[in-house]
């Protein structure tokens, strides 16, 4: 119930305060499981692209957010779960694979932290790639372009789902890192590729 209300409230918020256009919504799978990955420029990202996905997204969120009393209640009810960004987090990994095995949708920001679009790209984490390979589910890349200044223009692009290492067998750490970078390259090129297709 709270998830649906938050999704509705998010839509209303962005309709009033921003000029948002959504592209490639038809690329979203009709059902889970899958992993949805986006670039990360604001804490509002999940509320921007999440409500357009016709499934409840369980976002992996930094554990610091769960230490804020009211926010802790809200994001837990929205399906978010904590991850320790400073080191390998076994709990977060097990939770992610459990959700995917249950046919659910998981949201991950591969960059790990927010990045200003004017600054140099960060080296992505390879967690999303690992979970995709381990669970055998596809990744849906999402690109957010613009800024969050009030009444400014934002563009959201949903890419086609793909399997980052389909049929490749065992994948090395170097290959995982390369696949993670390929994921981010796909995300940042979405605005061009989808516009050209149209």
Exposed e or buried b per residue across 167-197, where buried means at least 16 C-beta atoms within 10 angstroms of its C-beta: eeeebeeeebeebbbebbebbeebbeebeee
Torsion of CA 151, 40, 79, 18, to 10 degrees: 10
Number of domains observed in the structure of the chain: 1
Question: What digits encode the pLDDT tens for the residues 29-43?
Answer: 999 899 999 999 998
Could you tell me if 75 and 64 are in contact, meaning their C-beta atoms sit under 8 angstroms apart? no
The answer to whether 133 and 171 are in contact (CB under 8 A) is yes
Average pLDDT over residues 59-78: 81
pLDDT at 114: 75
Give mean pLDDT, residues 57-79: 82
Q: Are 105 and 54 spatial neighbours (Cβ–Cβ below 8 Å)?
A: no
Poorest-confidence range of 56-60, 74-78, 184-188?
A: 74-78
* pLDDT(1) > 80: no
Instruction: Supply the pLDDT for residue 169.
Output: 65
Distance CA 144, CA 39 (A): 7
Of 84, 40, 102, nearest to 93 (Cα)? Answer: 84
What does each C-alpha distance from 184 to 26, 112, 125 come to in angstroms?
Answer: 21, 12, 10
Structural domain range at position 109: 2-197
- Give the global pTM: 0.89
Residue among 45, 55, 28, 59 nearest 154 (CA) = 45
**pLDDT at 194 (0 to 100):** 56
* Model pLDDT, residue 95: 93
Mean pLDDT of the chain: 87
Q: What pLDDT digit, counting tens, does each position of 140-184 carry?
A: 999 999 999 999 999 999 999 999 986 656 788 899 999 999 999
Residue of 154, 113, 163, 157 whose CA lies nearest to 133: 163
pLDDT at position 168 is 59
Residue 52, pLDDT score:
92
Distance CA 75, CA 46 (A): 11
Q: Using one digit for the tens of pLDDT, what is the confidence trace for 70-119?
A: 778 777 777 889 888 666 678 889 999 999 999 999 999 999 777 655 45
CATH code: domain of residue 81: 3.40.1130.10
Q: Summarize the confidence of residues 112-138 as an average pLDDT.
A: 80
């Amino acid at each position: 119930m709270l998830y649906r209300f938050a999704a509705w409230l998010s839509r209303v918020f962005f309709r009033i305060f921003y000029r948002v256009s959504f592209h490639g919504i038809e690329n979203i799978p009709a059902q889970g499981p899958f992993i949805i990955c986006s670039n990360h420029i604001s804490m509002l990202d999940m509320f921007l692209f999440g409500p357009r996905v016709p499934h409840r997204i369980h976002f992996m969120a930094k554990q610091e957010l769960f230490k804020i009393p009211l926010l802790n209640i809200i994001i837990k009810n929205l399906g978010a779960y904590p991850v320790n960004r400073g080191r390998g987090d076994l709990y977060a990994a097990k939770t992610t694979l459990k959700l995917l095995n249950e046919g659910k949708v998981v949201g991950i920001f591969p960059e790990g932290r927010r990045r200003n679009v004017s600054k140099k790209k960060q080296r992505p984490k390879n967690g999303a790639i690992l979970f995709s390979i381990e669970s055998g589910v596809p990744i849906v890349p999402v690109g957010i372009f613009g800024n969050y200044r009030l009444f400014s223009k934002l563009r959201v692009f949903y890419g086609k789902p793909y399997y980052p290492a389909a049929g490749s067998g065992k994948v090395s750490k170097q290959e995982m890192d390369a696949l993670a970078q390929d994921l981010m390259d796909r995300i940042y090129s979405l605005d061009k590729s989808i516009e050209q297709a149209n």
